[in-house]
Structure 1
């Protein structure tokens, strides 16, 4: 299982912003639709809230898409 690192410059990133940053969705308008169709697992817990805050070292698993880890830019 390959983990893709997504680098952020802030303390956290919201799930909807993460989906755009990781090029999973093209626009903010697509986030709600995407979350309704694809299960998202954050740190082994399902979560579909687009405002969910993701912090460095959080693991995000999206079935058929991949596994991602939030990392803080140094």
Structure 2
């Protein structure tokens, strides 16, 4: 399992943008397809909302990637 720790730059990040930021998807469109295909879980639950807002403490999983959303470093 590959772990990614992503500190927020604002209050939240949208799911499709997080997948793009972590280079799991090459584009926002590809990220939306991955979510729409049911390949992504957020906090252990399947997530189909492409623009779901993720806050500090959220854990996203897809394939062998686990992404931890961390509080802002500011």
Tell me how far apart the structure 2 counterparts of residues 72 and 15 of structure 1 sit (CA, whole Å).
16
Which deviations, in whole Å up to 9, do the C-alpha atoms of 1:6-65 show, x marking residues without a partner?
A: 1221110000110111111111121222224452111111102111110001011112x3
- Structure 2 stretches lacking a partner, 5+ long: none
Structure 1 segments, 4+ long, off by >6 Å, are none
Task: Give aligned pairs, total.
Answer: 73
Q: CA RMSD, aligned part only?
A: 1.7
**TM-score, normalised to structure 2's length?**
0.82
**TM-score, normalised to structure 1's length?**
0.82
